[in-house]
Structure 1
Amino acid sequence: MPHLPAPPAELVSFLEGLPDPHILVYDRYRILAANGAYRRLFGTAGGAEGKTGFFVEKMVPLPVAAQPVPSAQGLIGRSPAFQKMLGLVARVAPSRAAVLLLGESGTGKELVAHAVHQGSLRARRALVPVDCSSMPEALFESELFGHEKGAFTGAAQARPGLVEAADGGTLFLDEVGDIPLPLQVKLLRLLETGTYRRVGSTELRHADLRVVSATHRNLRHMVAAGHFREDLYYRLSTFPIHLPPLRERQGDTALLARALLERVAPPPRALQLSGAALALLEAQPYPGNVRELRNLLERTALLCDGDSIGAEHVQQALACGLPPLAGAVAQGAGVLPVSVALAGLPRRRPLPDDEALRQAVAAHQGSRLALARRLGISERSLYRRLKTLGA
């Protein structure tokens, strides 16, 4: 009998969260896993004692990659902390529960919100994001609930709000901790009763939506300080999910770096990371998490003229216009300073400023290649600088 693969942990977790009997099968109807409801109902042969029944099972294909290959736009990672988070997403997605995503800035909360929406029964309807941190308080209520014509100066016509746009789908409240206190009670009413009013209207409207919210703030501390309503907090946090920071995702930096590099330097350019470059990338603490890693890779790609990114390119990107970062890197737990991590590796000299480059060109009698070597830069970089200067 051929060896059966171990069922993916996230799918097993997903099955256990379903109230009805479900099984996970492989090809030729080999059962890999069964949820608790299935085991309780069909745990004994023939079903309930004294009964003979017929059953029809609906087969639904679940596309799962045979290997943990990172997708082009989705969630990328296979560390234990990341897989635990994915298991929680798979468990809560099919339900109607409000989800609160907690984590540092740059950990990918919006991507996880999309994953929750796509795994729900509302996936065919809209996921409507609301950036609570960038919306002025004076316009917040109008943007969220809509307004009637003449409700305020400039309201030339009636306009539906984001809640109406999310009807039947998912409303994603990003940085929910920034919602002004006066509006929190109106949001609470929406969550409790499914009703709201447009600005300038007495008509009570209904919305069928699911709320997924996210924040990098500590809402418990905000509740204690009186900056966030306690009842709203409990409404939003029916199912909280912590998104691990990149420093806690052992081994995921390499996966993320290769996938992000394809985005910041798409084909036909095919950049490769050397082992030393990857080791230096993995040594950083990344207080800005995945967003910071992407920015660092984009700078590195711009500083690399060839097809292979070396540790010297990463070092140059780390120091590029960010003097405080070098000190921060050196203070990270278990992280070596850049100077120590790169001991023995070739270093590039700082690029000359425009005036120094003009003087070097005027004094140089040899070839441009020789000048580039003397300046410690590539010939291509030298040509670019000279073209910019018109020299």
Structure 2
Amino acid sequence: MNIIATDSPSTEGLANMLEGYDCPAILVSVEYQILATNQHYRNEFGRVSLTDKPRCYEVSHGFTVPCDEAGEDCPLSAVVQSGHKERILHIHQTPRGKEHVDVEMLPIFDDDGALLFFVELLRSIPVSSPENLNTKLVGASRRFNQMLEKVSRVSQKDASVLLLGESGSGKELVATAIHQGSQRSKNSLVTLECAGLTDSLFESELFGHVKGSFTGANNNRTGLVELANGGTLFLDEIGDVPLSMQVKLLRLIETGSFRPVGSSIIKHSNFRLICATHKHLANMVKKGEFRQDLYYRINVFPIHVPSLRERPDDLPLLISTLLKRISEGKEYHLTDSALRVLKRYDFPGNIRELSNLLNRAVILSDTNLIEPSTIQECLDIDYELSQENDNDAHLMNSELVLTPSNKTEWVDLKTAESRYLSELMAFYQGDKDKVAKVAGISLRSLYRKLES
């Protein structure tokens, strides 16, 4: 809402008005000066000396110019342009370090419509951090903050959320953040991994079953839907739900009612639904692989979880955070050249792959300083495994069609590869690093192929 003052308001009167808000609030002039703070602000962010009327961007960011001139979004500037309240996620300096803060800026006009002041409301987002702290979601890049702003907004509602993103990008952590920021946070977050479940197993896991309902059902079992009552139900990899079970899932979402397998008793559950997938559900709908009515039921509020490639600025922060979590008290650091090696890598497995790689590097490092050679060795391990898997698959396929007439051809392929590598070695004057890069193989694999 916009606040309109019928008379020219005094700063003292507006300062008293700030105490009516149930969150940290400050009064800001059109020249960015902080004129007053409320008790909630002082408790959470500390006292600000108002004698010299400090600028809001100086206090919150340590900037010498307004946020929009320093490459950040500025809620004050946004209000001036729109003429009504604006809401922006910011990274603020606090006594605890840098924190993500949801900022809502309210304009105050006089009775002639002239803009007089701003009331800035600040709400911390405790489920994330722009610094290397012990929180689940870590990041400070623009793409990360855009996602986090949506998480902050939808957490306070009860709408169904669909998380879209590549495997390993952190969709389950985002689901946890949404739950923790909601009014259901005191109740359970219940997760069902939908990938690889048969119809009967999916139904039993979700709805539960009664004793004797099928072979092996030796006891009654409470389903995850019932366990999620009052809390949040998270269906991970929703795109893998069997088509035959999607109608039952749709009925559950629409009515909140279900029947355990083998029971005639209808039960009810009040839960908030969050789904996640790495698949393109809209394309699956077109192909008839996913029900359209179910798609629109779960896709009320979609959030794209960015891949690691989409947030490269967060890589150093993520590396530092992950190393602290896995090092068991011993501090590990990457050299600048080791970091450059990782920055050139595209991480198809995203943060999950980064975590595995750093775990591997800690094991292989003799000191607490991780060198580029160690990082390259870790990358080569995965590359060689993938090459071996590809070769194994190729050999298996070849064995199916291998006959006396084409055995010579199979040998010729290996001969051709050897000749190709020899020609590359001659062209690059024995530079094995360049040859391996051009051939698309690891340096270790090149040595092995040249020796064979």
Higher relative contact order at CA 8 Å, sep ≥6: structure 1 or structure 2? 1
| Pairwise CA RMSD | 3.8
CA distance in 2, matches of 1:226, 1:219: 10
How many Å apart are 1:176 and its aligned residue? 0.5
Q: Which runs of 5+ in 1 are unaligned?
A: 46-58, 327-337, 344-348, 351-391
Who is 1:3 aligned against? 55
More strand by share: 2
Who is 1:83 aligned against? 145
CA distance in 2, matches of 1:235, 1:75: 27
CA distance in 2, matches of 1:248, 1:193: 38
Is the contact between residue 10 and residue 86 of structure 1 (CA under 8 Å) also seen in structure 2? Answer: no
- Seen in structure 2, the aligned counterparts of structure 1 residues 145 and 11 have a Cα distance that, compared at 3 Å, is farther
Match of 2:214 among 152, 159, 164: 152
- Seen in structure 2, the aligned counterparts of structure 1 residues 115 and 65 have a Cα distance that, compared at 3 Å, is closer
Is the contact between residue 231 and residue 271 of structure 2 (CA under 8 Å) also seen in structure 1? Answer: yes
- Seen in structure 2, the aligned counterparts of structure 1 residues 70 and 209 have a Cα distance that, compared at 3 Å, is same
Q: Kindly report structure 1 stretches of 4+ aligned residues shifted beyond 3 Å.
A: 5-12, 21-24, 32-35, 42-45, 59-67
Who is 1:358 aligned against? none
Q: TM-score, normalised by structure 1?
A: 0.70
SS at match of 2:212: coil
Is the contact between residue 172 and residue 211 of structure 1 (CA under 8 Å) also seen in structure 2? Answer: yes
How many Å apart are 1:61 and its aligned residue? 6.7
CA distance in 1, matches of 2:233, 2:127: 29
SS at match of 1:302: helix
How many Å apart are 1:297 and its aligned residue? 1.0
Instruction: Determine whether 1:166 maps to 2:228.
Output: yes
Q: Deviations over 1:133-168 (max 9, x none)?
A: 143332111110011222222223322100000000
Who is 2:281 aligned against? 219
CA distance in 2, matches of 1:33, 1:211: 27
Who is 1:56 aligned against? none
Equivalent residues, number: 309
SS at match of 1:129: strand
- Seen in structure 2, the aligned counterparts of structure 1 residues 76 and 67 have a Cα distance that, compared at 3 Å, is closer
- Seen in structure 2, the aligned counterparts of structure 1 residues 3 and 109 have a Cα distance that, compared at 3 Å, is same
Who is 2:8 aligned against? none
How many Å apart are 1:282 and its aligned residue? 1.2
Q: Which amino acid aligns with 1:260?
A: L
Larger deviation, residues 231-240 vs 298-307:
298-307
- Aligned pairs for 1:294-373 (under 5 A) are 294-320=355-381, 322-323=383-384, 339=433
Is the contact between residue 129 and residue 137 of structure 2 (CA under 8 Å) also seen in structure 1? Answer: no
Is the contact between residue 127 and residue 137 of structure 2 (CA under 8 Å) also seen in structure 1? Answer: no
SS at match of 1:320: helix
Q: Which amino acid aligns with 1:281?
A: L
CA distance in 2, matches of 1:122, 1:165: 13
Instruction: Determine whether 1:189 maps to 2:281.
Output: no
Q: TM-score, normalised by structure 2?
A: 0.61
CA distance in 1, matches of 2:332, 2:160: 42
Q: Which amino acid aligns with 1:85?
A: M
Q: Which amino acid aligns with 2:55?
A: H
- Seen in structure 2, the aligned counterparts of structure 1 residues 209 and 197 have a Cα distance that, compared at 3 Å, is same
Q: Deviations over 1:330-372 (max 9, x none)?
A: xxxxxxxx947xx9xxxxx97xxxxxxxxxxxxxxxxxxxxxx
Instruction: Determine whether 1:248 maps to 2:310.
Output: yes
Who is 2:351 aligned against? 290
Q: Which runs of 5+ in 2 are unaligned?
A: 1-52, 62-66, 80-85, 95-101, 112-120, 388-431, 438-442, 445-452
